[in-house]
Structure 1
Amino acid sequence: MQIVEDSIVGVRAAAITLSRHETPLRFQLYPMLHIGDRGYYREVTRRLRDCDLIVAEGAPDTVATRALTLSYRLAHRNKAMQVETQSLDLLTLGKRIVIPDITTTDFEAGWQRVPLRTRAMITFAAPLYGLWLAAFGTRRWIGKHAALDDLKTNEEALTEAPDDPLAALIMDTRDKLLVDELLRIHAEHHDEPMTVAVVYGAHHMRAVTSALNAVHGYRARDAEWVMVLAY
């Protein structure tokens, strides 16, 4: 199943509805990209008005997270690309919002477990890459690295480093927090006709679809493309 598609028309993210026949609760997944057209974020916001509960990411603001995100935060300075960094004003929607994300304390502890060499490389490379995007980046360059399926590619599997503390911090820990919250929501509300919107980074949707299917049999019943970046 495609989560994010890169095609001749541009980059599109799938708004995926997960449900099961036994109960009325459903989950709508909004795999987020941190760079996109203004219309992309407006469309996601519009769709969220129809949900009952929003489950969103909210990583802490630390020196390390600012370094990790600097590359795409600088990209919007490229006037030729005409892109924006992720902007969703969820509080204006008047919905209940749950943020199952890593705490500042846990993030900083995990960051210290990342080898010093890796931390130094990220701190040095992220602003350089961000400046490159700001000066020379293109929409097609972003799209080339955005495509994502629910299953890992052979290339991803071969290049993954076992016991990678950075991947554990950025992905694995946060995946577990997100999945645990969604399983809790199912336990409390599965008999209610609720729509739960999951607004989280695209790569985390792999863990969501896998866990909800494996534990409770939720399947993708519907999906609609939302344009992220038009070419």
Structure 2
Amino acid sequence: MQIIEHSIIGTRSAVVRLRRPGSELQFVLFPMLHVASPQFYAAVTERLRRCDVLVVEGVSGRSVLGWAVTLTYRVMPANKRSGLVVDNIPYRSLGVELINPDVTAAEFAQDWRAMPLRYRILLWCAVPFVAAAQFLGGRKTLLSPEVEVNDLPSARDELYADDEFTEHMERTLGGTRDERLLAALSELIRTRAAEPIDVAIVYGAGHAPAILRGLLDRHGYRPRTGEWLTVLEA
């Protein structure tokens, strides 16, 4: 199943509704990009207001590491010709119950330090070059096949599946964070499965495959319907 789709008309994100027999609680997965058109975030905001609970991504606290990681996409809207903005959804002001199960900056730093030093040095050295490339060509990147995400591994994913660097990156950026999220979703199912509520999962698209697998394997939730939202028009 495509989660982020690229085509000649632009880039789109699939909003996926998940259900399981015997449970009134439904999940609505919003695969997000940190940078997109203002219209995309407006469309997501409109739909979030209709939900009953929001489970939202976001590392809490500040750190130099967090600043550096987010710099690689925060520079994109600085190029005014791109027409892009950073996620500007006022999650805490939507009047909807909000849960943030993500890690703290200190916990993220701990996972970062578990990565071999040579890879950390490589990433620190890459930050200014990636930031410069994103400033100059961020819009082009969002309109390229590179942005696509699927629930099954792509040929490129399989090519790098056994790569040590890739494994460490996935563990640092996903790993603990995905487990925290799935634990929070499991608790909602345990305590509120009988309630007819919509629970929005608002996480980066890169987390979506793990979320879909986790909800299916652990609780039997399956995608039932979907809706495409345009992230950026070509």
Is the TM value for this pair above 0.5? yes
Aligned to 1:122: 123
Match of 2:217 among 178, 193, 214: 214
Q: Does 1:49 align with 2:49?
A: yes
Aligned to 2:231: 228
Q: Which runs of 5 or more structure 2 residues have no equivalent in the other structure?
A: none
| Closer/same/farther in 2, CA of residues 26 and 170 from structure 1, 3 Å limit | same
Higher mean displacement: 85-94 or 193-202: 85-94
Aligned to 1:184: 187
Cα distance, 1:120 vs. partner? 2.3
Amino acid at match of 2:13: A
Cα distance, 1:116 vs. partner? 2.3
TM-score by length of 2: 0.93
Contact 2:4-2:205 within 8 A present in 1 as well:
yes
Q: Does 1:112 align with 2:113?
A: yes
Q: Does 1:83 align with 2:121?
A: no
Instruction: Spell out, residue by residue over 1:90-146, the C-alpha distance to the aligned partner (whole angstroms, 9 max, x if none).
Output: 1111111111111233212222122222222222222222122223x1533223221
Aligned to 1:16: 16
Amino acid at match of 1:17: R
1: CA distance between counterparts of 2:126 and 2:78? Answer: 18
Aligned to 1:155: 156
Contact 1:13-1:31 within 8 A present in 2 as well:
yes
Cα distance, 1:21 vs. partner? 2.6
1: CA distance between counterparts of 2:134 and 2:209? Answer: 27
Higher mean displacement: 218-227 or 77-86: 77-86
Aligned to 1:73: 74
Structure 1 counterpart SS, 2:69: helix
Aligned to 2:27: 27
Instruction: Spell out, residue by residue over 1:46-82, the C-alpha distance to the aligned partner (whole angstroms, 9 max, x if none).
Output: 1000000000011133211211121111011222221
1: CA distance between counterparts of 2:103 and 2:158? Answer: 25
Instruction: Spell out, residue by residue over 1:157-198, the C-alpha distance to the aligned partner (whole angstroms, 9 max, x if none).
Output: 221324833321211111111111111111111111010000
1: CA distance between counterparts of 2:138 and 2:103? Answer: 32
2: CA distance between counterparts of 1:66 and 1:166? Answer: 17
Q: Which runs of 5 or more structure 1 residues have no equivalent in the other structure?
A: none
Structure 2 counterpart SS, 1:80: helix
2: CA distance between counterparts of 1:105 and 1:132? Answer: 29
| Closer/same/farther in 2, CA of residues 181 and 191 from structure 1, 3 Å limit | same
